[in-house]
Amino acid sequence: MSNPNFPEIQRFEPLPDQRHSWRTAFVGDPSGATGPTTPERWFEPAASQGTAFGGTPPTTPSRGYGRGLVGVLIAASFVGSIVGAGGTYLALSASGSSDSATAASASSGLARVGIQSDTSTVIAALKQVGPAVVQISTDDGAGNQSVGSGIVYDSRGWILTNRHVITGAQTISVRLADDRQLTGTTYGVDTLTDLAIVKVDSVAGLTAAPIGDSAPLQVGQLAIAIGSPLGLNYPNTVTTGIVSALGRDITVPSDNPASSTSVGLHGLIQTDAAINPGNSGGPLVDASGQVIGVTTAQASTAQGIGFAIPINIAKPIMQQALAGEKLSRPYIGVTYELIDLGLKQRQNLPLGQGAWVHMDDASGNSAEAVTPGSPGDLAGIKTGDIITKVEGQTIDPLHRLEDVLVQYPPGRTVSVEIYRAGGYITLKVTLGTRPASTN
């Protein structure tokens, strides 16, 4: 069910220590070294200066009717000025801009309007989510310590975080927003994504974050990241940006220190909200104060490119933990390529969207794309088929096969529409449990 054709990102959030690249990519400095020096100055654009306009009053005509005409013109001009000023005031009042108007200094005698950005949306969102963001500190028993973030999603002590934050931890310490310290245990890790569930004992005043819906996200909307960049001394740091892109695929190093293999993460949210070491596992929040993602990575070769796992992908394992079930993901056992117009033209495919069951070997030749004995194989899916729908949901760039399947538990039988040899057929596939080693 993996997709081999996505760009590889070599490094994430590098730190000065020499520990394993995954660990150093997302955690604080275990040596306790001082973080970057705070910039000495912040620069803001200087307020614009008004310009006084003046002129020589017109010469008064010598004739009586000329004076009368001038009087009429002056009166009309005066009335027009009043009407125009009134209209401008009403427009400013309606937009709220007049509230930010400020008087210029007495010496200049000029009017000046200052415009300030409205931060009330961000502040309101933080009031909802901030109390549920925790700092997670781990120790592997060999003196290696790391720091990440987490999200309390149930007030009985359930916390969502990144798998790489707690991998290899012998002890887990959870620091609440009010600075209380709790001992955490790993409930389970996700076999599909970089997610894990941590459990702490329920305590009074434990606040759960509002969990949103990542399905309707749009590129360009507000994104707020909360976490603990640079370690223990910077808890609940807030950065803002936008949703830069959706459906991103990246490759990151394995969280197994003994392995040199890479792990693919699919369908991620890309954001330009600053994400730094220690942010991992923290929430990405929308303008309404709902958690829409879990921050997981930042590219070290570029600025303003960070990634978060959509919250809808996390919901199934969150629910499994609350029900006391083992964390598991559905498994179908096919390798595919998501069809777009470019792939359709290159491979001369009959359809412009869907999941093309296909795989190339190391030499670039077509190979068997259905795992023998897998749920897909038992249901009759064949290499070369195009999966067009699952339970009536069309498979397209916004609804990838694995993202549609992930909402169903292992053991569930789903209807899968297949395009084969010029026609459509429907197969019944009983989903298996995804092996932990499956990428």
* Residue 154 among the catalytic residues: no
Residue type, 216: P
* Statement to judge: residues 387 and 335 lie in one domain: yes
* Residue 107 among the catalytic residues: no
Is residue 419 classed as helix, strand or coil in its secondary structure? strand
* Statement to judge: residues 187 and 229 lie in one domain: yes
* Statement to judge: residues 348 and 298 lie in one domain: no
Is the model's pLDDT at 17 over the cut of 50?
A: no
In a domain, 54, yes or no: no
pLDDT digits (tens, 9 = 90+) for 137-158: 999 988 888 899 999 999 999 9
End-to-end CA distance of the chain: 8
Picking from 208-212, 272-276, 310-314, 331-335, which range would have the lowest pLDDT averaged per residue? 272-276
* Statement to judge: residues 302 and 364 lie in one domain: no
pLDDT digits (tens, 9 = 90+) for 85-100: 444 444 444 444 434 4
C-alpha radius of gyration, the chain, whole number: 30
In a domain, 411, yes or no: yes
pLDDT more than 70, % of the chain: 70
Beta-strand pair 196-200/262-271: unpaired
* Statement to judge: residues 289 and 419 lie in one domain: no
| CATH code at position 137 | 2.40.10.120
In a domain, 301, yes or no: yes
* Statement to judge: residues 407 and 259 lie in one domain: no
* Statement to judge: residues 156 and 261 lie in one domain: yes
Question: Among 274, 304, 322, where does a domain finish?
Answer: 322
* Statement to judge: residues 304 and 349 lie in one domain: no
* Statement to judge: residues 264 and 372 lie in one domain: no
* Residue 164 among the catalytic residues: yes
Find how far residue 330's CA is from the centre of its chain: 24
Q: Which of 194, 272, 286, 385 is catalytic?
A: 194
Please report which confidence band the pLDDT of residue 278 belongs to, taking 50, 70 and 90 as the band edges.
Answer: confident
- Looking at residue 157, its pLDDT comes to 96
In a domain, 1, yes or no: no
Number of domains present in the structure of the chain: 2
Alpha helices in 279-358 (DSSP H): 311-322, 341-347
- Beta carbons of 286 and 298 less than 8 angstroms apart: no
In a domain, 183, yes or no: yes
* Statement to judge: residues 314 and 174 lie in one domain: yes
What token pair was written down for 34? 């001082």
Question: Among 288, 305, 322, where does a domain finish?
Answer: 322
Output the DSSP codes for 360-404. E-TTS-EE--B-TTSHHHHHT--TT-EEEEETTEEPBTTB-HHHH
Please report which confidence band the pLDDT of residue 122 belongs to, taking 50, 70 and 90 as the band edges.
Answer: very high
Domain coverage including residue 151: 21-27+123-322
- Beta carbons of 241 and 272 less than 8 angstroms apart: yes
* Statement to judge: residues 425 and 318 lie in one domain: no
In a domain, 10, yes or no: no
80: left (phi over 0), alpha (psi -120 to 50) or beta: alpha
* Statement to judge: residues 424 and 288 lie in one domain: no
- Looking at residue 118, its pLDDT comes to 55
Nearest alpha-carbon partner for 303 in 277, 279, 276, 285:
276
- Looking at residue 28, its pLDDT comes to 41
In a domain, 117, yes or no: no
Q: Which of 137, 214, 280, 328 is catalytic?
A: 280
Find which of 82-86, 139-143, 181-185, 303-307 is predicted with most confidence, using mean pLDDT: 181-185
Picking from 171-185, 260-274, 278-292, which range would have the lowest pLDDT averaged per residue? 260-274
Nearest alpha-carbon partner for 27 in 221, 211, 164:
164
Please report which confidence band the pLDDT of residue 260 belongs to, taking 50, 70 and 90 as the band edges.
Answer: low
Picking from 158-172, 257-271, 341-355, 380-394, which range would have the lowest pLDDT averaged per residue? 257-271
Is the model's pLDDT at 437 over the cut of 70?
A: no
Q: Which of 20, 164, 266, 358 is catalytic?
A: 164
Span 277-291, average pLDDT: 93
* CA–CA distance, 225 with 285 (Å, rounded to integer): 6
Nearest alpha-carbon partner for 386 in 336, 342, 435:
336
Span 363-383, average pLDDT: 93
* CA–CA distance, 169 with 185 (Å, rounded to integer): 9
Question: Among 301, 322, 343, where does a domain finish?
Answer: 322
Q: φ, ψ for residue 30 (rounded to 5)?
A: -70, -15
Strand partners, 430: 413
